[in-house]
Amino acid sequence: MSTTELCFTPASELAAAIRRRQVSPVEIVEAVLTRIEALNPHLNAFLAVDAEGARAAARAAEAAVMRGEARGLLHGLPVSIKDLEPSQGLRCTYGSKFFEHAIAETDGAVTERVKAAGGIVIGKTNTPHYGHKDMCDNLLGPPCRNPWQLERTSGASSGGAAAAVAAGLGPLAHGSDGAGSIRIPSALCGVFGFKPSFGRVPYWPNQDIWAARSHNGPITRTVADAALLLQAMAGPDARDPTTIDQMPEDYVAAVAQPLEALRGLRVAWSEDFGYAPVDPEVRRLTKAAAERFAAFGCQVEAVDPGWDDPREIAATAWYVSYAARLGDRYAQQPDWFEPSLAQMIEAGQRVSGVEHGRALLARTAFYQQALRFFTTYDLLLTPQMPLAAWSVEQGPSTIAGQPTPSMFDRLNFTFPFNLTGQSAASVPCGFTHEGLPVALQIVGRWHADTLVLQAAAAFEQAAPWAQMYPPLAAA
């Protein structure tokens, strides 16, 4: 295979080929490194690349295969780690000037599990300052760009991860999601993103564990690849006391035969929750995608969930968290903070303890509303993002003619399921007239990770997307 073909081969196929000695981990890693060298200057998807370490790990993985000692689901496969997670010996910036030259002294929980499964950490992907927003720029260098159109944003905060996967800079990427940060860039870059149930994958180290909001998960080109990476990452960890105290199901086997699991399910489709602005083209494409579920044996019903708009709840908790974590640094070095993050910190500092407490109470009430809704429906389908990728320079001022002054005005379909902790997948479902990706969101009941993956796999079988390469893929 050519370098491009090798870089766009699904990880699940590469893993099987490695075990059969049809392809070497060395070949795969060299192909990915070659492609990163060629394309990353255009994309800025990686903040650090560990070429020397990856090559050494690939040689060791190849030797193990030749000895018949290959172990682990990810043996010999390159994996990128978002730069909000430390990986020992590699640059770990958190997208912040305060850590511009920092080197991690330990592995985070995800990196540990990737390595234990035989994965090769290829580098650290770009993210905004402490992952605070849905655009992937920071003060460390140029912004991460969308491989479909370089003048558009990749989305964020896992923007580097999604852009890298879309452009073939490695088949497997780690992302994290506190208000949509796996699903946003996956949707805008045309790849598959999965936010597992809260606690399914440990989040350690984590300065704000008790916020109970952030999820680690996979970003990949195919559902099977996401199942593979999730299988390696998932499971309890006492260092994160919010992790689910049971071993994960067999996601890899579940997505291989998805249709049987969907027959007879009640599926809700909501195009706007009754309050969210949505671009008409996105509305049309996602509605057509939702209607496909009838062919899977599902009963699809258009609904308005009838729950309260949780925007103020999410925004208050978000701003307070950043004020608490970064307020002291902001006071010491304000010029190292982007206006967007500075505004969030200042907004959080204006919130009283009682107001924050009321937001937490309202979050509890919203969870109960969502729980009641899912006693009737097995899955909920929505647009993933209300518009396609916007300018890399600034966010859109309107959506479908409605003003959108805040980031949260364009995240109406993402942050509700960080508040509830439910699993949600971003599934590519078409392109706008400008050639930009659009995605459908699939949301499951409490802890229904397997079912959401199966629903995504069934949709992928009916309307595959992985063969669609962005223009940069030909570079």
Whole-Å CA distances, 370 to 109, 212, 267, 308, 313: 30, 17, 14, 10, 14
Written as one letter, the residue type at 372 is R
Burial category of 405 from C-beta neighbours within 10 Å (exposed 0-12, middle 13-18, buried 19 and up):
exposed
CA–CA dist 15, 73 (Å, integer): 8
C-alpha 22/C-alpha 9 separation (Å) is 13
CB 108 within 8 A of CB 204: yes
Copy the structure tokens of residue 104.
């991690």
CB 145, CB 163: distance < 8 Å: yes
Active site residues: 82, 157, 181
- Residue 87's closest CA among 116, 103, 117, 107? 107
CB atoms within 10 A of CB 333: 11
